[in-house]
Amino acid sequence: MALLTLLNSRSPLADPVEQRAMLARLALARTFGGAVSATGRGPLLASDVSVLQMNVGKRCNQACRHCHVDAGPDRPEVMPPEVVNACLRFLETSRVDTLDVTGGAPELHPLFRDIVTRARAAGRHVIDRCNLTIATLPSYADLPEFLAAHQVEVIASLPSFAARQTDAQRGAGVFESSIAALRRFNRLGYGVEGSGLTLNLVTNPVGAFLPGSQQALEADWRRELARRYGVTFSRLFTITNMPISRYLQYLVDSGNLQGYMDRLVTAFNPATVDGLMCRFTLSVGWDGRLYDCDFNQMLDLGTRAATPHTIFEATTAALAGRPIATGPHCFGCTAGNGSSCGGAVG
C-alpha cells in the first residue's frame, strides 16, 4: 500500500501529454487507425450509448503498481455534486440502461450511496468496480449489505489466486484482505448461483505479457478459489494491461516498452473491433469532461471535435455515431482475445 503515485513521485509520466508523446515516438509496424481500416471497419465510430461510466475520482485506499488511473490515497480529485447531478440527469432522461461507477475506489466518494440509490430508483443496472479491500475498512463495513440491498453488480479486481502475485501488484496484505471481503460477499449470496447477485472478478497479467484464454483461466480460478479459500464467483474477466500511466512507467523501468507494444500490434485481432467498449460506452471524468473510454480519460484524450465535450451538454443523439479518438494504446484492446471493462471481446 506504500507504493507512490506517479504524481507524488514527480515522474514526468504523471502528465498525460508526456505519456501520449512517449507512445507516439515508438516505431510500430502500423498505426491503430490503419489496422482498423484494413479490417474494412474504419474509421472507428461509436454506436448508441448504452453504458455511462462515471469516474468519480482518483482517490483510492490502495496504490497498485499497474494502476491506469494513477490513483492512490494522495490524489485529491473528487467529482463535485453538480457533475454527479448532471450524470444522473443524463442517465434518467436517456435510454442508457447501465451505470458503471469507477474510480479510484468509487465507494470513497461522499455521494456514492446516493448515486447508486438514484440510479436504481430510475431502474438502471448499476456496476460497482470494487477493489475489495475497501469493504474491510471499518467505515465501509456495511458496504456489501448496501450493494446487495440495491442489487448492484460487483466487479472486483484480483490479479491472481496466489497471494504473492496479487500482493506484488497491489501491495502487501491485499490478497488476505481481498479473500476476507470475497467471503463476506459470498455470505450475502454474491457469486452464488441462483442468488441473482453478480460478483465478477477481474485479472490482469502481473508482468509484460498478454492474458491467457479467459475461459481456461476462469476454470482454473473457480477450482482454486473454491479449493483453497471456499470462495465462489460469477465470471472471470481477463484484462490486458494498457500501456498508460503506472503500467507505462513499469514498462519503461523494466525495459519492456518497445517489446510489449510490438507484441500488442502483432496480436491485433480484427474480430475484436466490433465489440470495443468505446463503441457503446460514454466515460465521464471527475470534472465532467467526456471521453470515449476510461483509458482515453487518463490520457486526457477527450471526445473529438463536433461532439459534446462535457456531461452538461451531452445528449445520446449528439453522441451516437461519433468518431472515436484513438492512439497506439488502443492496441491493448484489440490484442489476442481483446480486452474491455467486461473482459475479453473477441
Number of chain residues interacting with ligand SF4 (CB under 6 A): 26
Compare residues 157 and 160 and give the one whose CB is closer to ligand SF4: 157
Q: Residue from 277, 314, 335, 344 that binds ligand SF4 (CB under 6 A)?
A: 277
Judge contact between 277 and 296, C-beta under 8 A. Answer: no
**Torsions phi, psi of 59, nearest 5?**
-70, 135
Burial status of residue 82 (CB atoms within 10 A of its CB: 0-12, 13-18, 19 or more): exposed
Question: Nearest approach, Cβ of 101 to ligand SF4 (angstroms)?
Answer: 12
**Helix or strand (DSSP H, E) at 259:** helix 257-266
Residue appearing with cell numbers 499497474: 66
Judge contact between 234 and 185, C-beta under 8 A. Answer: no
Contact between 75 and ligand SF4 by CB under 6 A: the answer reads no
Contact between 278 and ligand SF4 by CB under 6 A: the answer reads yes
Contact between 174 and ligand SF4 by CB under 6 A: the answer reads no
DSSP string, 117-136: HHHHHTT-EEEEEE-SGGGG
| Alpha-carbon span 210 to 275, nearest angstrom | 18
Q: Residue from 205, 295, 307, 314 that binds ligand SF4 (CB under 6 A)?
A: 295
Compare residues 86 and 276 and give the one whose CB is closer to ligand SF4: 276
Q: Residue from 94, 131, 204, 238 that binds ligand SF4 (CB under 6 A)?
A: 131
Contact between 296 and ligand SF4 by CB under 6 A: the answer reads yes
Contact between 326 and ligand SF4 by CB under 6 A: the answer reads yes
Q: How many CB atoms lie within 10 A of CB 107?
A: 24
Judge contact between 200 and 221, C-beta under 8 A. Answer: no
Compare residues 118 and 132 and give the one whose CB is closer to ligand SF4: 132
Question: Nearest approach, Cβ of 226 to ligand SF4 (angstroms)?
Answer: 24
Beta strands in the chain (DSSP E): 51-55, 98-102, 125-130, 153-157, 199-203, 236-238, 281-284, 290-291
Query: Given the rule CB under 6 A, which of 57-65, 119-127, 212-220, 305-313 is the region that contacts ligand SF4?
Result: 57-65
Question: Nearest approach, Cβ of 131 to ligand SF4 (angstroms)?
Answer: 4
Alpha carbon 302 to its chain's center: 17
| Alpha-carbon span 321 to 172, nearest angstrom | 45
Contact between 11 and ligand SF4 by CB under 6 A: the answer reads no
Query: Given the rule CB under 6 A, which of 46-54, 185-193, 213-221, 271-279 is the region that contacts ligand SF4?
Result: 271-279
* Half-sphere exposure for 139 (CA within 13 Å, toward CB): 5
**Torsions phi, psi of 271, nearest 5?**
-70, -10
Site for ligand SF4 in 96-115 (CB under 6 A): 103-105
Query: Given the rule CB under 6 A, which of 77-85, 177-185, 207-215, 273-281 is the region that contacts ligand SF4?
Result: 273-281
Compare residues 249 and 326 and give the one whose CB is closer to ligand SF4: 326
Site for ligand SF4 in 181-220 (CB under 6 A): none
Contact set with ligand SF4 (CB under 6 A): 60, 62-64, 67, 69, 71-72, 103-105, 131, 157, 170, 276-278, 292-293, 295-296, 324, 326, 329-330, 333
